[in-house]
């Protein structure tokens, strides 16, 4: 059964939640008083649709259905999760919870997107206080995995486990705080940095652009992958974390931040900062900046995915969950009919595979075919465990025909046929489709290799048998058009 | 003439400077009292050699020569730049400057790696105060571009311009502060976040690992590409920066950070943090963590490079400088002898092209050949301006033979031959070498395309003539072994 999420309060954050639920296969019911809500949310959805589906190397489930509702009560009807992103005023939030919980019980979690309020404040006077918890996300909600989960004492272990399961299922990382505190964890850091930045601009030490550069060319990119403590652990070197801390202890007594005081928030300061920000990037529209940001985030997260680190390690974990139970998770033994090509790739084209026009780059066709080959190898038992035991297939030759173009976000399918196989050899034929449209073909000749000597050697008996099963069953198929062909002779 | 840098004080920071100068073609002379300095610096150099050369898509100049010296005076002899990274004690630094400036004049810049001292403090009593300036880098110095440049009133415009030129030439981004301030800019943010993080751990809100996750799964990865103000500009949406600030003004009065106070730096707090950090990653050695960090940084910076954003935009600027004047910068008209294959790629294999064993991935061979094709297109005048005018070549077919393996850091060369060309067609043959060792061949058939209709169309007359010049001059060469070949027939 398809799950349904009620989104109470649209805007950038509510819209981001709507996009994350919808693109992960949930139905979404939205309540927002703003007559512009539908337009605003559709803009967030457009951004999400171009960036999220290709982020992972596994296909997302089919999109759910989105409904705009006339009231909170209508939106909540039938919902298994309610996400509240109304303005940051406690009395408004409490009233919204009362209206929701007139219709829902202890089993329907209400996640609050609040940046600052503690759950003990949010749940005061509620009918089902345990079901109300802070689920504070980060913009853009459809891409960034962090969600701060803060629960009150009324929350049961089951309610907390349910909330974790839903958030993890959306590809998010629920950080469950050990205790509640104003502004949770991340926004306390943001507030500290914001206050210091206001001083630096006000005192004329650096402009907004210079401060942004100080962050993104230095500690920002360092924190993106390891955070604060791990970065310092590495910097401390062999002497260890205690030694590092001993060095930096004295600085706590030095005037190295102005945070012992708060700058006065005058019109002059606002004008100074807004003016510098216009100077820095007023030539870009906000829509442009959103696309630039999302491209950057997707490309960096996928770079980290290749290293299985940071946000990329989360992506890999989520992908493993998504693959479980899909057709691509089947093993060769489960494929009863080996006589037809098998689906080895079914995924959206990610932003980092495309050029500035949004078309898939030439070299990325080989990435896709390489992934298809990896997947076929897994199918015949040449999986991570087999490779760790010392054998694998290496590609010796590749012949790609580029037949048509494809854009970021398009779901491509690769079907793989075995032209020949057995002993040291494996000869594969991949066809890449967008629906019925053939985009490219890839012919690949691989040799099985002993990873110790890095020389060719026969495959292990199980892998060999699984490969021969496909090769024999498919031997009767007609030779695909283009197979065994050379690039036309140059003379 | 090769430039020479004197590195006064080794360690992680001094070693990082040594690596950055050396790998950018400077000779380096090191003075450090620590008998372990040579070992420690060689470890930093090993890290730098595996990560920096492939970071850019242009080859670095040949490495300079490294010399370990017995004294500051010996190290400084003949140096055009002195980088001081001795311990953070003002009297030690001032004494070092006195010894250096007994031998150097106003023209030799002394960059100080100090995190905290202001130039007016550093230069007090110096013989040539204008030559002493803060050049504060970020670890790992060989990869991160940020360097905070803070000058005293004694520094002349020429001295500042010279310092900028040297740092920019090293691929760094000198952020010249408008005024001096304790701890410059970036470390003020780091100090603010550090203090807040100490509170959060001490008060049991989150562990070191949870705090690291709160950073790297949320605002850390956001800051890595845009910094603070630009991120808020985007979040503020169409309503603009003033509106955003008006929303967040009130929070300045709320207890959203504990930075109005400083935590007591007790043994218990040190034990708590060091213990949590051991729990988090004590199973990794510091060397492992350094490699993980550097892999992540290189992959993220190269991801940003593909988008021409953030640290990636800096890489592209530096690359354009490095290419100017190299053999790869020549235009086709400058190539007097068109009868031989031309060098189209000369670069180190970057970390993001390799698998977990450090071997170049199958699909990256096509990346390299794709770059070689792009470069050849530029050579015949199919450059950015021509493409913007509406024409380009698209690859229709590719045939790659993988002949040998190559590791990250290896400098590869691609030589490109024209097998045929003219009208709509271009048939290229790339050979990839590590020295004399052939790694792979790539045969590519391309069609010239009208970018408006995305259908094949004849190339413009100048491009066509330049292509035919190569095709005609190379028509007499013997057909390369493997050209025009099919993958062996499957039956």
- pLDDT, tens digit, 9 for 90 and up, residues A427-482: 999 999 999 999 999 999 999 999 999 999 999 999 999 999 999 999 999 999 88
User: In the Cβ-directed half-sphere of A463, how many Cα atoms lie within 13 Å?
Assistant: 24
Task: Identify the sign of the CA torsion B158, B159, B161, B166.
Answer: positive
Is A401 in the B-facing interface, judged by CB distances under 8 Å?
A: yes
Q: Determine the distance from the C-alpha atom of residue B251 to the mean position of all C-alpha atoms in its chain, rounded to a whole number.
A: 38
Rounded Cα distance between A325 and A329, Å, is: 6
A420 and B490: CB-CB below 8 Å?
yes
Asked if A66 and A6 touch (Cβ cutoff 8 Å), the reply is no
The pLDDT, as a whole number, for residue B294 is: 93
A310 has a pLDDT exceeding 70? yes
Distance from CA of B452 to the nearest CA of A (A): 12
Domain with CATH 3.40.50.720 in chain A: 4-176
A11 has a pLDDT exceeding 90? no
Rounded Cα distance between A388 and A370, Å, is: 19
The CATH architecture annotation of domain A329-473 reads: Roll (3.10)
DSSP B326: S
Instruction: Report which of A337, A338, A392 is spatially closest to residue A370, judged by C-alpha positions.
Output: A392
Rounded Cα distance between A219 and B321, Å, is: 25
**Average pLDDT of the residues in A359-372:** 94
Q: For chain A, what is the mean pLDDT? A: 91
Distance from CA of A271 to the nearest CA of B (A): 8
Distance from CA of A354 to the nearest CA of B (A): 10
> Chain B 54-113, CB below 8 Å of chain A: which residues?
none
A252 has a pLDDT exceeding 70? no
Instruction: Report which of B69, B76, B67 is spatially closest to residue B97, judged by C-alpha positions.
Output: B76
> Chain B 264-293, CB below 8 Å of chain A: which residues?
265, 270, 273-274, 276-278, 280-281, 286, 289-290, 292-293
**Average pLDDT of the residues in A266-270:** 79
In this structure, which long-range contacts are made by residues A85-93, counting pairs with CB atoms below 8 Å and at least 24 apart in sequence?
A: A85/A7, A85/A8, A85/A9, A85/A10, A85/A11, A85/A13, A85/A14, A85/A17, A85/A112, A85/A113, A86/A8, A86/A9, A87/A9, A88/A114, A88/A115, A88/A116, A88/A117, A90/A117, A90/A121, A90/A122, A93/A117, A93/A122
The pLDDT, as a whole number, for residue B324 is: 76
CB-defined contacts A:B, below 8 A = 484
The pLDDT, as a whole number, for residue A491 is: 46
The pLDDT, as a whole number, for residue B131 is: 98
- Write the DSSP string, A308-330: T-HHHHHHHHHHHHHHTTSGGG-
Rounded Cα distance between B176 and A206, Å, is: 9
Rounded Cα distance between A163 and A173, Å, is: 11
Question: In chain B, which stretches have pLDDT less than 70?
Answer: 1, 249-263, 265, 325-334, 489-491
Model confidence over B428-480: pLDDT tens digits? 999 999 999 999 999 999 999 999 999 999 999 999 999 999 999 999 999 99
Do you know the residue count of chain B? 491
> What's the CATH number for A4-176?
3.40.50.720
Asked if A120 and A88 touch (Cβ cutoff 8 Å), the reply is no
Rounded Cα distance between A105 and A125, Å, is: 15
Task: Identify the sign of the CA torsion A398, B436, B327, B50.
Answer: positive
The pLDDT, as a whole number, for residue B198 is: 86
What is the three-class DSSP state of B392? strand
Asked if B147 and B113 touch (Cβ cutoff 8 Å), the reply is no
Model confidence over A43-102: pLDDT tens digits? 999 999 999 999 998 889 999 999 999 999 999 999 999 999 999 999 999 999 999 999
The pLDDT, as a whole number, for residue B210 is: 94
**Average pLDDT of the residues in A213-226:** 94
Asked if B5 and B82 touch (Cβ cutoff 8 Å), the reply is yes
On the 0-12 / 13-18 / 19+ scale of CB atoms within 10 A, A238 is: exposed
Do you know the residue count of chain A? 491
Distances (CA, A) of A27 to A147, B177, B296: 21, 51, 36
* φ, ψ dihedrals at B337, nearest 5°: -105, 95
Distances (CA, A) of B400 to A227, A393, A442, B429, B444: 41, 16, 11, 10, 9
The fold adopted by the segment(s) B186-283 is: 1.10.1040
Instruction: Measure CB to CB from residue A487 to each of B225, B290, B397 and give the nearest one.
Output: B397
Residue of B nearest to A245 (CA): B270
The fold adopted by the segment(s) B325-474 is: Thiol Ester Dehydrase; Chain A (3.10.129)
Rounded Cα distance between A143 and A136, Å, is: 14
Q: What is the largest CA-CA distance in chain B?
A: 85
Domain with CATH 3.10.129.10 in chain A: 329-473
B270 and A242: CB-CB below 8 Å?
yes
DSSP B115: S
Distance from CA of A227 to the nearest CA of B (A): 4
Asked if B182 and B150 touch (Cβ cutoff 8 Å), the reply is no
Distance from CA of A127 to the nearest CA of B (A): 27
| pLDDT band of A373, cuts 50, 70, 90 | very high
Domain with CATH 3.10.129.10 in chain B: 325-474
Rounded to 10 degrees, the C-alpha dihedral B14/B15/B21/B23 comes to -170
Is A398 in the B-facing interface, judged by CB distances under 8 Å?
A: yes
Is B387 in the A-facing interface, judged by CB distances under 8 Å?
A: no
Alpha-helical (H) ranges within B286-358 are 286-307, 310-323
């Amino acid at each position: 059964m398809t799950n349904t999420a009620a989104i109470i309060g649209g805007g950038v954050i509510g819209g981001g939640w709507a996009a994350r639920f919808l693109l992960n296969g949930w139905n979404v019911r939205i309540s927002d008083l703003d007559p512009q809500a539908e337009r605003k949310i559709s803009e967030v959805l457009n951004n999400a649709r171009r960036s999220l589906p290709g982020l992972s190397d596994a296909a997302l489930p089919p999109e759910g259905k989105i409904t705009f509702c006339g009231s909170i009560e209508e939106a909540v009807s039938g919902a298994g999760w309610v996400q509240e992103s109304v303005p940051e005023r406690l009395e408004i939030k409490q009233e919204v919870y009362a209206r929701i919980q007139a219709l829902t019980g202890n089993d329907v979690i209400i996640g609050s997107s609040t940046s600052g309020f503690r759950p003990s404040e949010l749940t005061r006077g509620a009918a089902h206080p345990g079901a109300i918890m802070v689920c504070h996300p980060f913009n853009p909600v459809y891409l960034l995995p962090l969600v701060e989960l803060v629960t009150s004492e009324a929350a049961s272990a089951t309610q907390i486990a349910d909330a974790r399961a839903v958030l993890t299922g959306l590809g998010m990382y629920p950080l469950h705080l050990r205790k509640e505190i104003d502004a949770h964890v991340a926004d306390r850091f943001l507030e500290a940095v914001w206050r210091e930045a206001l001083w630096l601009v006000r005192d004329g030490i650096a402009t907004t652009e210079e401060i942004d550069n100080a962050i993104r060319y230095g500690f920002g990119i360092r924190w993106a992958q390891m955070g604060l403590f791990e970065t310092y652990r590495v910097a401390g070197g062999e002497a260890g974390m205690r030694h590092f801390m001993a060095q930096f202890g004295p600085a706590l007594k030095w005037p190295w931040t102005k945070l012992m005081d708060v700058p006065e928030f005058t019109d002059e300061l606002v004008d100074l900062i807004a003016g510098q920000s216009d100077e820095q990037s007023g030539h870009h529209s906000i829509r442009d900046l959103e696309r630039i940001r999302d491209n950057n985030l997707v490309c960096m997260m996928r770079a980290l995915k290749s290293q299985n680190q940071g946000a990329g390690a989360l992506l890999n974990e989520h992908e493993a969950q998504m693959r479980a139970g899909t057709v691509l998770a089947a093993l060769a033994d489960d494929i009863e009919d080996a006589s037809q090509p098998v689906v080895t790739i079914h995924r959206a084209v990610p932003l980092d595979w495309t050029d500035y026009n949004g078309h898939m780059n030439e070299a990325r066709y080989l990435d896709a075919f390489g992934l298809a080959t990896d997947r076929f190898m897994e199918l015949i038992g040449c999986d991570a465990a087999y490779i760790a035991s010392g054998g694998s297939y290496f590609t010796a030759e590749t012949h790609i025909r580029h037949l048509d173009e494809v854009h970021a976000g398009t779901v491509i399918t690769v079907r793989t046929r075995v032209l020949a196989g057995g002993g040291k050899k494996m000869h594969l034929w991949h066809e890449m489709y967008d629906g019925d449209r053939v985009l490219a073909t890839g012919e690949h000749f691989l040799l099985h290799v002993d990873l110790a000597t890095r020389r060719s050697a026969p495959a292990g008996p199980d892998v060999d048998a699984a490969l021969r099963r496909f090769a024999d069953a498919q031997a009767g198929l007609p030779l695909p058009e283009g197979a065994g062909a050379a690039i036309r002779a140059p003379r």
